[in-house]
A and B are shown apart, each in its own frame.
Chain A
Amino acid sequence: MKLSRGTTAGSVIAGAAAFALLATGCASDAGASDGDVELTITTFGTFGYDDLYKQYEDENPGVTIKATNIDTGGNARTDAFTKLAAGSGLSDVVAVEEGWLGQIMEVSDQFVDLGDHGADDVKDRWIDWKLSQATDPDGRIIGYGTDIGPTGLCYNGALFEAAGMPSDREAVAELFGGEDATWEQYFDLGKQYFDATGKPWFDHSGFVWNSIVNQLDEGYYTADGKLNVEGNDELKARFLELAEAAQYGLSADQAAWDWGGGKAFVDGTFATFVCPGWMLGVVQGQVEAGGGDASTGWDFADVFPGGAGNWGGAFLSVPKTSEHPEEAAKLAEWLTAPEQQIKQFEAAGTFPSTTEAQEKLAADATPNEFFNDAPVGAILASRAEGVIAQYKGPHDSLIQENVFGPALKSVDEGTKDGPAAWDEAISLLNEVVPD
């Protein structure tokens, strides 16, 4: 190819311009005029904050919010730790998931003590355990709680009906055992459903396992922080019970956070789904992505096998690298205030962590159109009763994803039975989790 004189000159200019841009790029950040602050915030999953950002910007002239949302909590964790290690790149406000809060606590000195920014004035708004989760051993508050994860049962009424089961919300709660619902009962019903329809009962074993573990008084760690997996007979018995059900055919072996782009939620692949509050937004998003709507039949019942349990929930933290810690703390405080938590709930189904907002929702029977007019707020408030926060150790999410994740996948795929999969989990535990 022959370059004409014109192109050569052109490319030289273009190159020089690019270089000049590069050279000046570093300096342009500081160019904002006085009083104007740009706050960055990173959230994950379905957080329901978009409208709140706009409201905050309107109410606080001079503040612009630049938001990033990461697809899953797991990827948000990697993102946060990578940037913590690099010592830069973290947003002014970072959403931290309960599952990896334990690991954040190990480096809590890299986060701003919100006590220096007025946390003491507002700390009574949260339920006790949410606040104590976010308080480090030195008494510093490093995160404002957003939501908690009381768990109810999502089920597809249309599929229940087709299988000759009751589809009415109260009748379903009754069917699963109401207050005394057990996993045994849940799996038995699943087997009936499977026998009647030949279709799986739940999407994949990993999520069911998460909710089982989160119900225990002590999960992967004891309350005083020791690993509690190997030789834990209760955990193993639960694991084998789930594996047996999956082997029967109750698991649809779906890839979590993918679900065939939501289609598995729409085409009747599975009939029940474990739903912590924040999952409701995910379910709705998946159904809509898969081409379904309210008529797809998803409903939300005030019952959960094995009783109350908390799965997930998040905190808003301000890393020390933030250039505007004062403004960032103010934004985090505002976003987690009761009024905003209610709005977040309305947008994404996340159940509030402040007593005031919880009480409001408990008294609120507003039907949710998407979930067959279920009074989602009131149901979640009822599910939140008796929820006990479990101690999360530093490697909780690692154990969840890379120890029990693969083992349960083996069960779902039918390549291993319960005992063999448990052995796989134990050997992975010893390989993957540092002592």
Chain B
Amino acid sequence: MSTLTPRQRLSRLDVKASPYLYIAPFFILFALVGLFPLLYTFVVSLYDWHLLKGQGDFVGLGNFTAVLQDRFFWNSLFNTFSIFLLSAIPQLLAAVIIAAVLDANIRGKTFWRMAVLLPYVVTPVAVSIIFSNLFGDDYGLVNNLLQNFGLDPVAWHRETFASHFAIATMVNWRWTGYNALILLAAMQAVPRELHESAAIDGAGAVRRFVSITIPSIRPTMIFVIITATIGGLQIFAEPRLFDPATAGGVGGSHRQFQTTVLYLWEMAFFRQNFGEAAAIAWLLFIIIIVIGLINFMLTRRIATGDSAKSRRALPWVRRRHEQVEQTVTTPGTIAEDVKL
């Protein structure tokens, strides 16, 4: 071993070091634009920090306590969750259904798939401007239609729930198709044999969808739900542009639709308090992680209750992998499950 030629040494080094070099660009980029800002934000959150005048005194967790005692912060959390629930749930349900329809044998597949994705191409800014016009209080198209049917106009910008509904509509319009396509891709990877054998065993379309399709696309569902959670809790452009002028565009005259990121923006660039804004950013970060974990655990339980039983002793990662593997490789098991 000690008589390796330089060339051999180089070759060994290549084997050992190259993999790290190959993945290095991502990690270097991540450290630069992900990790560093994250940590620096935390540093900022520990100081009095003015947008223009810069760093002030060290205040410890003072900014965090100030934010937690701030009624506008809690108001923004309420708004964020309200809009999130109003958008995420209908959106994912619709996406699953659309994906299932697209997965069936329909004519003009590519056309339908493109059509579903089209809203995603439009920038959120354009979507917000068009929708806030549609949802205008006095002259909007939606209210005009309502009045044509003899209904009372809705104060879309003034009332809390109505404004949340309008903003959730923008989000749904833009994201449903995107999620549907991702779910569709997952559905197409489900082996057809599973469906066939289940069909032979007498399972109807709905039964097959619930017992085969849904469990099989579970990893993708988790992905879609987690990204929807992150996106939903970080919503900014839509509420910002829903009313860009009133009270400086901070989300309605009485902050009816001020989300947490919008509040963060107000704190940082409107009130120029960078310290508290950084604290809000960190609190939001923690909240998103917590909600993400809760969603992850909930989704793991969805639709796969029975096959998880036998492997309770194994760590969750292995369990999940094995289970996916099993779902894919041993159609018999599922088919038997279906029959039960």
Q: State how many angstroms separate the Cβ of B110 from the closest Cβ of chain A.
A: 9
Chain A, range 377-435, C-beta contacts under 8 Å to B: 398, 401-402, 405-406, 409-410, 413, 431-432, 434
Determine the distance from Cα of A363 to Cα of B83 in the docked complex, in whole angstroms.
Answer: 58
Bound complex: CA A25 to CA B206 (Å): 54
Residues of A within 8 A of B272 (CB): 81, 85
B297 CB–A CB distance under 8 Å: no
> Closest residue of chain B to A394, judged by CB?
B272
Please report the C-alpha to C-alpha distance between residue A405 and residue B243 in the assembled complex, in whole angstroms: 14
A37 an interface residue at 8 Å Cβ cutoff?
no
The answer to the question of B254 belonging to the interface, with a C-beta cut-off of 8 Å to chain A, is: yes
Q: Assuming A81-B51, A432-B271, is B253 touching A405 (CB within 8 A)? A: yes
- A110, A263, A409, A410: the one contacting B246 at CB < 8 Å is A409
Residues of A within 8 A of B133 (CB): 261
Which residues of B, 229-257, contact A by the 8 Å Cβ criterion?
243-250, 253-254
Contact A82 B246 (CB under 8 A): no
Interface-lining segment among B6-14, B96-104, B134-142, B193-201: B134-142
Q: Mark B125-159, 1 if CB is under 8 A from A, else 0.
A: 00000000100111100000000000000000110
Say whether B16 faces chain A, with CB atoms less than 8 Å apart: no
Given contacts A74-B249, A255-B137, A398-B271, contact A107 B244 (CB under 8 A): no
B271 CB, min distance to chain A CBs, angstroms: 7
Residues of B with C-beta under 8 A to A402: 247-248, 250, 270
Contact check, B249 vs A75: say whether CB atoms are below 8 A apart.
yes
Complex interface bits, A75-104 against B, C-beta within 8 A gives 1, otherwise 0: 100100110110000000000000000000
Tell me whether A84 and B52 are in contact (CB under 8 A).
Answer: yes
Tell whether A434 pairs with B158 under 8 Å between CB atoms, given A74-B248, A402-B247, A406-B253: no
Interface string of B52-69 (1 = CB under 8 A from A): 110000000000000000
List of A residues within 8 angstroms of B269 by Cβ: 78, 81-82, 85
Interface centre among B136, B158, B272 (most CB of A within 10 A): B272
Q: Please report the C-alpha to C-alpha distance between residue A318 and residue B2 in the assembled complex, in whole angstroms.
A: 69
Q: What class of interface size applies to chain B in its complex with A?
A: 20 to 34
Nearest-Cβ distance from residue A292 to partner chain B, whole angstroms: 14
Q: Are B253 and A431 in contact (CB under 8 A)?
A: no
Chain A positions within 8 Å of B158 at CB level: 413
Partner of A255, one of B70, B157, B254: B157
Q: What is the CA–CA distance of A431 and B274 in the complex, to the nearest angstrom?
A: 16
The reply to whether the CB of A118 lies closer than 8 angstroms to some CB of chain B is no
Name the interface size band of chain A.
Answer: 20 to 34
Kindly state whether residue A129 has any CB partner on chain B within 8 Å. no
In the assembled complex, which residues on chain B have CB atoms less than 8 Å from the CB atom of A29?
A: none
The listed residue (A85, A260, A406, A410) touching B139 by CB distance below 8 A is: A260
Any A CB within 8 A of the CB of B72: yes
B246 touches A256 (CB 8 A): yes
The chain B residue sitting closest to A415, CB to CB, is B254
| A85–B51 touching, CB < 8 Å | yes
Q: Whole-angstrom distance between the alpha carbons of A84 and B274 in the complex? A: 14
A264 part of interface (Cβ distance < 8 Å): yes
Residues from chain A with a CB closer than 8 A to the CB of B137 are: 255
Residues of A within 8 A of B270 (CB): 78, 398, 402
Across the interface, A85 reaches (CB within 8 A) one of B52, B138, B244, B254, namely: B52
Q: Choose among A84, A256, A269 the residue that contacts B245 (Cβ–Cβ < 8 A).
A: A256
Task: Looking at the assembled complex, report how far the CB atom of A270 sits from the nearest CB atom of chain B, in whole angstroms.
Answer: 12
| Cα of A431 to Cα of B94 in the assembled complex, Å | 42
A401 to B272, CA, bound (A): 15
Smallest CB separation, B211 vs chain A (Å): 28
Bound: A85/B55 CA distance, A: 12
**Residue of B whose beta carbon sits closest to that of A107:** B52
Instruction: Report B-chain residues with C-beta under 8 Å of the C-beta of A431.
Output: 70-72
Q: Chain B's nearest CB lies how many Å from the CB of A426?
A: 15
Are B246 and A72 touching (Cβ within 8 A)? no
B138 — which chain A residues lie within 8 A by C-beta? 254, 260, 263-264, 269
In the complex, chain B residues whose CB is within 8 Å of the CB of A269? 138
Q: Which of A45-86 contact B (CB under 8 A)?
A: 71-72, 74-75, 78, 81-82, 84-85
Whether B273 is near chain A, meaning CB under 8 Å from some CB there, is yes
Residues in A neighbouring B70, C-beta threshold 8 A: 431
CA distance A69 to B133 in the complex (A): 21
> Is there contact, CB below 8 Å, between B246 and A405?
yes
Closest CB-CB distance, B319 to chain A, in whole Å?
32
Please, how many angstroms separate the alpha-carbon atoms of A254 and B243 in the complex? 12
Q: Smallest CB-CB separation from A82: which chain B residue? A: B269
A257: which of B51, B139, B245 is its contact (CB, 8 Å)?
B245
Q: Does A36 reach chain B (CB closer than 8 Å)?
A: no
A124 within 8 A of B: no
A120 located at the interface, meaning its Cβ lies under 8 Å from any Cβ of chain B in the complex: no
The distance from the CB of B142 to the nearest CB of chain A, in whole angstroms, is 13
Point out which of B137, B158, B245 has the most chain A C-beta atoms below 10 A from its C-beta: B245
Measured between beta carbons, the chain B residues less than 8 angstroms from A84 are 51-52
**CA–CA, A432 to B71, complex, Å?**
11
CB-based contact B139/A263 at 8 Å = yes
Interface check A258, CB cutoff 8 A: yes
A74 contacts across to B, CB distance below 8 A: 245, 248-249
Whole-angstrom distance between the alpha carbons of A89 and B171 in the complex?
30
Nearest CB in chain B: distance from A158 CB, A: 20
A254 to B137, CA, bound (A): 9
Given contacts A75-B249, A78-B248, A405-B246, contact A434 B271 (CB under 8 A): yes
In the complex, chain A residues whose CB is within 8 Å of the CB of B253: 405-406, 409-410
Q: Give, as a whole number of angstroms, the nearest-CB distance from B305 to chain A.
A: 34
Interface string of B275-310 (1 = CB under 8 A from A): 000000000000000000000000000000000000
Residues of A within 8 A of B243 (CB): 255, 258
B residues less than 8 Å from A75 (CB atoms)? 244-245, 249
Question: Is A260's CB under 8 angstroms from B136's CB?
Answer: yes
**Alpha-carbon separation in the docked complex, A82 to B158 (Å):** 28
The docked-state distance in angstroms from the alpha carbon of A187 to that of B70 is: 38
**Contacts A81-B51, A107-B53 given: A258-B245 contact, CB under 8 Å?**
yes
Which of A107, A254, A258, A401 is within 8 Å of B247, CB to CB?
A: A401
A402 to chain B, nearest CB (A): 5
Query: Are A401 and B136 CB-contacts (below 8 A) given A85-B52, A413-B158?
Result: no
Give A269 to B253 CA distance when docked, in angstroms: 21
Least CB distance, B185 to chain A, in whole angstroms: 9
A106 interfacial contact with B, CB 8 Å:
yes
How many Å lie between the Cα of A434 and that of B272 in the bound state? 10
Q: Name 18 A/B residue pairs within 8 A (Cβ), A-sorted.
A: A71-B245, A72-B244, A81-B52, A81-B269, A106-B52, A110-B52, A255-B157, A255-B243, A255-B245, A257-B244, A258-B243, A258-B245, A263-B138, A402-B247, A410-B254, A431-B70, A431-B71, A431-B72
Known: A75-B245, A255-B246. 11 other contacts (CB 8 A): A81-B52, A82-B269, A84-B52, A106-B52, A255-B157, A260-B139, A269-B138, A402-B270, A409-B253, A410-B254, A434-B271
List the 6 shortest-distance A-B pairs measured between CB atoms, nearest first: A260-B139, A257-B245, A409-B253, A401-B248, A405-B247, A85-B51
